[in-house]
Amino acid sequence: MTDTPLPTIMTMTPFNPEFQKDPHSVLKPLRERCPVMHDETSGSFIISKFSDVRAIATDLTLWRDPLRADPSAVMQRRFSDAVIEGVPRSETSSILTLDNPDHARVRGPLAQALYARVAKIRPQVEAIVDLALDRMAAKSSFDLMDEFCVPIPIDVIAVILGVDHARLVEFRDWSEGIIQALNPFRNEDQTRHMERANQALTDYFRAAIRERRDNPQDDLISDMTQLQAQGVPLSDEELRINLAALLVGGNLTTTDLIGNGVRLLMLHPEELSKLRADPGLINNAVEEILRYEPPIDMTSRIASKDMEVGGCPIRATQSMTLSLRGANRDPEAFPDPDRFDVSRKRAAHMAFGGGAHICIGAPLARLEAQVAIPRLLERFPNLRLADPSADAVWRTLPFFRGLQRLDLAV
Ligand code: HEM
């Protein structure tokens, strides 16, 4: 079958029904035949072996800012934030696409404050999860995405940011709109929703930063304004753009972690029984869900020098797209990689990327899944797919894998 054409980036999106049904029908042959493949459409090398993906993600000398990429790297350059003359890059671009020294300067204090918040937020996550479960309690069936997986991460980040309860509905709408920033193929309606949400969040965060500076509360924005007051070099605009990045990076991904995880457990009754019999397996199970069905397909880096990956020369400024999903099913890293096994010996997966840019929200996403999944299973001891013969309904946002609906019966 070696004369079958190699895939292109477009065949690794929901536009390809085969990929949407089973991404590994595309990724497995790619990893076996051409683990470092130059893709003309995106102008990027697609890298799919675990060892290469990990080595590149953790190489601190590589770049992330799309503006440093060769103009032929069209897909990566579409992710670049607007350049505004006279405004520092760190005020138009979040840590997601910032390079050092700005990346470390901005990420350091944000991570310090976020991790301290996450360390004490468990009781509130439990309360938010229980409230969602209470709303579902009277029903005999429900769409888990709508009732549980979508609202929980938004409500949790709203607590972390100290969003006023009265503004939660607006905040949810903005959170959903701003995610379109991650969709390179967004249509006009989606672009308008994103722009509206972006403006509303900009106004909201600017006001909140000013307000918390004068009147600190028990929330992340106040933590950050206090760090600024202690001399941490971080401008209000840098803070604002990175608060928005927590929403862009954090909501949909955590929604999908919970949704994909519950679906996998419903599809693998023996794994579900193992977890029900030994709830202590939950942390392990969440790592296996992240490995087996990661919410994000890819991340990227830019070569800062001429280099070689898997014997393939890559020139400085060329773009590299790392297939996290492909790496997570590499048999050289994970024995029997296509088996979903909640008791699999815990092995490092690539779902959160790696190195300096490793997901800053990973501890929060893990916590939410570790609380939400067991409480859902406990509340509904007979939880099952409403129609086991129905095909999964996946969302169509490229490079993300998550369900549009997950209809369950209790
Ligand atoms: C299961 C849920 C999540 C997944 C799968 C995920 C995945 C990722 C990945 C793959 C990256 C890129 C890492 C790299 O390039 O090496 C990333 C970065 C990032 N994530 Fe997450 N994420 C999740 C949840 C969250 C949450 C809850 C937040 C916020 C509270 C968040 C905020 C961010 C931010 C701000 C970055 C940029 C970090 C940087 O470049 O320094 N993510 N995430």
Question: Is residue 245 lining ligand 1, measured as CB closer than 6 Å?
Answer: yes
- Torsion 124-126-132-138 (CA) sign: negative
Do residues 18 and 25 make contact, with C-beta atoms less than 8 angstroms apart?
yes
* Mean pLDDT value of segment 32-60: 97
Q: What pLDDT is attached to residue 166?
A: 85
AA identity, residue 92: T
Name 270's Cβ contacts closer than 8 Å, sequence gap at least 6: none
pLDDT digits (tens, 9 = 90+) for 280-300: 999 999 999 999 999 999 999
* Closest atom, ligand 1, to C-alpha of 256: 1
pLDDT at res. 186: 83
- Helices then strands, counting H and E runs in the chain, come out as 16, 11
- Cβ(361) – ligand 1 distance below 6 Å: yes
In DSSP terms, 385 is beta-bridged to 408
What's the CATH number where 129 sits?
Answer: 1.10.630.10
pLDDT of residue 383: 97
- Going by pLDDT thresholds of 50, 70 and 90, the confidence category of residue 183 is confident
SS in 3 state form for 127-179?
A: HHHHHHHHHHCCCCEEEHHHHHHCHHHHHHHHHHHCCCHHHHHHHHHHHHHHH
User: How many domains, in total, are found in the chain?
Assistant: 1
Give residue for tokens 């249509």: 187
Residue 1 pLDDT greater than 60, yes or no: no
Paired residues of 63 in beta bridges: 302
Query: Helix or strand or coil: residue 118?
Result: helix
Distance (angstroms) between ligand 1 centre and the Cα of 203 equals: 24
Q: How far is the CA of 249 from the centre of ligand 1 (A)?
A: 5
Q: Is residue 185 part of a domain?
A: yes
pLDDT higher than threshold 90 for residue 78: no
Q: Is 2 within a domain? A: no
Please check the confidence at residue 211 and state whether its pLDDT lies above 70. Answer: yes
For residue 18, being part of any structural domain is answered with: yes
Beta bridge partner(s), residue 409: 141, 384
Q: Looking at residue 231, what is its pLDDT?
A: 97
Q: What's the whole-number mean pLDDT along residues 77-95?
A: 82
Could you tell me the two tokens for 221? 């924005």
Say what percent of the chain tops pLDDT 70. 98
Task: Find out whether 122 and 228 touch, Cβ atoms under 8 Å.
Answer: no
Parallel, antiparallel, or unpaired for β 319-323 and 44-47?
Answer: parallel
Residue-level pLDDT at 396: 86
Q: Is 403 contained in some domain?
A: yes
Boundaries of domain holding 234: 9-409
Q: What is the 1 CA–ligand 1 centroid distance (Å)?
A: 37
Assess whether pLDDT exceeds 80 at residue 197.
yes
Percent of the chain whose predicted confidence (pLDDT) is above 90: 82
Q: Which ligand 1 atom is at minimum distance from the Cα of 251?
A: 27
Residue nearest atom 14 in ligand 1 by C-alpha distance: 353
Task: Look at residues 350, 349, 342 and name the one whose alpha carbon lies nearest to residue 373.
Answer: 342
Q: What is the pLDDT of residues 153-162, one digit of tens each?
A: 999 999 999 9
Is the pLDDT confidence value at 184 over 80? no
Q: Residue 2 above 60 pLDDT?
A: no
Q: Is the pLDDT of residue 12 over 90?
A: yes
User: Is the distance from the beta carbon of residue 145 to the nearest atom of ligand 1 less than 6 Å?
Assistant: no
Mean pLDDT of 87-92: 90
Predicted pLDDT at 375: 98
Is residue 47 within 8 Å of 323, Cβ to Cβ?
Answer: yes
Question: How far is it, in rounded angstroms, from Cα 211 to Cα 226?
Answer: 12
pLDDT band at 254 (very low <50, low <70, confident <90, very high): very high
Domain-located, residue 4: no
Rounded average pLDDT over 310-330: 97
- CB of 245 closer than 8 Å to CB of 357: no
Centre of ligand 1 to C-alpha 382, Å, is: 33
Measured CA to CA, the distance from residue 89 to residue 112 in angstroms comes to 22
DSSP letter string over 185-252? Answer: T--HHHHHHHHHHHHHHHHHHHHHHHHHHHS--SSHHHHHHHHHHTT----HHHHHHHHHHHHHHHHH
**Is residue 160 within 6 Å of ligand 1 at its C-beta?**
no
Is 216 in contact with 66 (CB distance < 8 Å)?
A: no
> Phi-psi region for residue 208, left (φ > 0), alpha (ψ -120 to 50) or beta?
alpha
* Structure confidence at residue 80 (pLDDT): 67
Give the Å distance between the CA of 390 and the centre of ligand 1: 31
Q: Give me the pLDDT at residue 342, please.
A: 97
Query: Is 3 domain-assigned?
Result: no
Q: How far is the CA of 250 from the centre of ligand 1 (A)?
A: 6
**pLDDT > 80? residue 140:** yes
Chain segment 218-231, per-residue pLDDT in tens: 999 999 999 999 99
Residue 40 is assigned to a structural domain of this protein: yes
Does the residue 1 lie in any domain?
no
For residue 167, pLDDT over 90 is answered with no
What pLDDT is recorded for position 3? 65
Evaluate if residue 112 carries a pLDDT over 80: yes
pLDDT at residue 196 is higher than 80: yes
Q: Quote the CA–CA distance of 176 and 171 in Å, as a whole number.
A: 9
How confident is the model at residue 81, as a pLDDT?
A: 66
Q: What is the reported pLDDT for 247?
A: 86
Burial of 317 per CB tally in 10 Å (0-12, 13-18, 19+): middle
